Amino acid sequence: MTNSAKPFQFPNGYSPETFLESYWQNQPLLCRNALEGAGKSLTDEEILEVAIQDVSDARLITMEDGKHEVEQGPFPLDRFDILPTTPWTVLIQSMEVWQPGLQGLQSAFDFLPRWRFDDVMVSLSSAHGGVGPHVDQYDVFLVQAAGRRRWSWGGPVHRSAEDVALRQVSRFEPTENADLEPGDVLYLPPGVPHEGVALSDGAITISIGFRAPGITDLIGHLADVVAETWDDAVEVEPRYGDAGRDLSRDPWLVSSTDLTGLKQLLLNALGDEELTARALGEQISMPRFPPEAPEAVPEPGELAKLLQAGWRLERWAGSRLFHHPLDAQRALLFVDGFSLPVPVEFAAWVAGQETISADAWRDWHQNPDALLAIMMMVGRGTFGLVPGSKERA
């Protein structure tokens, strides 16, 4: 397990507050010894094993004549039996899903809300390996887990029209550089050109990436939710109205007043707090790797018996759960792109749980909304039944 329950150690004189105030989304910050021991038990073999799994999102980047070549997985099972002789890097997205031990690392970044977290990308490089100078659109904490890597960053952005896959820049004029040792962390906000080059074989970097939803996704999902809401209720669907309108002198004209009226209809939808909370919360809880629904789901009575016998409900490592209180009693629980109305305390509790035990079941199963939510999550595979240690032996 690569758990790191240790808090993030900001440089002397810095606190999470000062970081958020002056650096987050704004400027890079090098933090020496910020996460000592992070990812220490992650081995080269484990990384390569995950890289050849069909389900993982892996890439191999090799250097040929000074140019970076990208090979996108899935790879043949023997792809890494013989490693390239030129400098190489293997990148795996969402490693926390395949190595749930890495999830512990997320708690070091709890000075930011979990919904902003996107994934843990792991890179393994041979000496001189890297992905080349590029720009990312997202905030990232680059955690050195093993070996050493030289990072260079800063300077103007010269976008490259040719390279789309690696988002490389055509010219790289960094203003800063540093050699990162295990435990060191470099924070980069979006849009800062950077390049990491491994200084030794077996250099492992863990990139804690954050997501920033774009307007396309947000509006897209809001439109779906609005459409669903009024689908079966056309007679009460909010509709444009123009009683008392001025006389039309140009019948082909769409006037500014008309557009304002139409726009108001949309603004009214946005003004519906519960509807927008639902749509936006569902969108930001969309997982990269959704859980798989189990073939059979036990009835609540059967589930209670299994939990009593030592089984437990374990959360799928790729699931995203968040909560938003609507009032003192009611909350929305966002689960992997869905939302469920539940009691406020239940939402706040379950969003942070990795397991649901018999005790927790006893506390909540009598509440119909909480029970419905648990059963729905079991039905979707958000929480899966796992035998207790007795049954496993």
Closer to ligand SIN by Cβ: residue 132 or 318: 132
Could you tell which of ligand SIN, Co ion, none binds residue 207, using a CB distance below 5 to 8 A set by kind?
ligand SIN
Query: Three-state SS across the chain?
Result: CCCCCCCCCCCCCCCHHHHHHHCCCCCCEEECCCCCCCCCCCCHHHHHHHHCCCCCCEEEEEEECCEEEEEECCCCCCCCCCCCCCCEEEEECCHHHHCHHHHHHHHHHCCCCHHHEEEEEEEEECCCCCCCCECCCCCEEEEEEECCEEEEECCCCEECCCCCCCCEEEECCCCEEEEECCCCEEEECCCCCEEEEECCCCEEEEEEEECCCCHHHHHHHHHHHHHHHHHCCHHHCCCCCCCCCCCCCCCCCCCHHHHHHHHHHHHHHHHCHHHHHHHHHHHHCCCCCCCCCCCCCCCHHHHHHHHHCCCEEEECCCCCEEEEECCCCEEEEEECCEEEEEEHHHHHHHCCCCEECHHHHHHHCCCHHHHHHHHHHHHHCCEEEECCHHHHC
Task: Confirm or reject binding of residue 143 to ligand SIN (CB under 6 A).
Answer: no
Could you tell me the smallest distance in angstroms from the CB atom of residue 39 to ligand SIN? 12
Task: Confirm or reject binding of residue 126 to ligand SIN (CB under 6 A).
Answer: no
Q: How many angstroms separate the CA atoms of 283 and 338, rounded? A: 8
Closer to Co ion by Cβ: residue 96 or 336: 96
Phi and psi at residue 260, to the nearest 5°? -60, -40
Could you tell which of ligand SIN, Co ion, none binds residue 123, using a CB distance below 5 to 8 A set by kind?
ligand SIN
Closer to ligand SIN by Cβ: residue 152 or 285: 152
Q: How many angstroms separate the CA atoms of 105 and 92, rounded? A: 16
Q: How many angstroms separate the CA atoms of 236 and 234, rounded? A: 5
Could you tell me the smallest distance in angstroms from the CB atom of residue 199 to ligand SIN? 12
Task: Confirm or reject binding of residue 130 to ligand SIN (CB under 6 A).
Answer: yes
Q: How many angstroms separate the CA atoms of 163 and 67, rounded? A: 11
Which one of the spans 130-138, 304-312, 315-323, 343-351 is the region binding ligand SIN (CB under 6 A)? 130-138
Closer to ligand SIN by Cβ: residue 131 or 350: 131
133, 303 contact by CB (below 8 A):
no
Could you tell which of Co ion, ligand SIN, none binds residue 62, using a CB distance below 5 to 8 A set by kind?
none
* DSSP bridge partners of 171: 158
Could you tell me the smallest distance in angstroms from the CB atom of residue 38 to Co ion? 18
Could you tell me the smallest distance in angstroms from the CB atom of residue 151 to ligand SIN? 8
Task: Confirm or reject binding of residue 123 to ligand SIN (CB under 6 A).
Answer: yes
Task: Confirm or reject binding of residue 339 to ligand SIN (CB under 6 A).
Answer: no
Could you tell me the smallest distance in angstroms from the CB atom of residue 248 to ligand SIN? 57
Q: How many angstroms separate the CA atoms of 283 and 226, rounded? A: 13
Could you tell which of ligand SIN, Co ion, none binds residue 130, using a CB distance below 5 to 8 A set by kind?
ligand SIN
Which one of the spans 10-18, 42-50, 67-75, 123-131 is the region binding ligand SIN (CB under 6 A)? 123-131
Return the residue of 50, 90, 140, 192 that touches ligand SIN, per CB under 6 A: 140
Could you tell which of Co ion, ligand SIN, none binds residue 196, using a CB distance below 5 to 8 A set by kind?
ligand SIN
Could you tell me the smallest distance in angstroms from the CB atom of residue 8 to ligand SIN? 19
Task: Confirm or reject binding of residue 274 to ligand SIN (CB under 6 A).
Answer: no
Could you tell which of ligand SIN, Co ion, none binds residue 4, using a CB distance below 5 to 8 A set by kind?
none
> Two tokens at 62?
């090799």
Task: Confirm or reject binding of residue 136 to Co ion (CB under 5 A).
Answer: yes
Residues in binding contact with ligand SIN, number by CB under 6 A? 10
Closer to ligand SIN by Cβ: residue 93 or 285: 93
* DSSP bridge partners of 321: 335
List the x/- string, 72-111, binding to ligand SIN by CB under 6 A. Answer: -----------------x----------------------
Return the residue of 42, 48, 97, 131 that touches ligand SIN, per CB under 6 A: 131
**Residues making contact with Co ion (CB under 5 A):** 136
**Residues making contact with ligand SIN (CB under 6 A):** 89, 123, 130-131, 136, 140, 194, 196, 205, 207
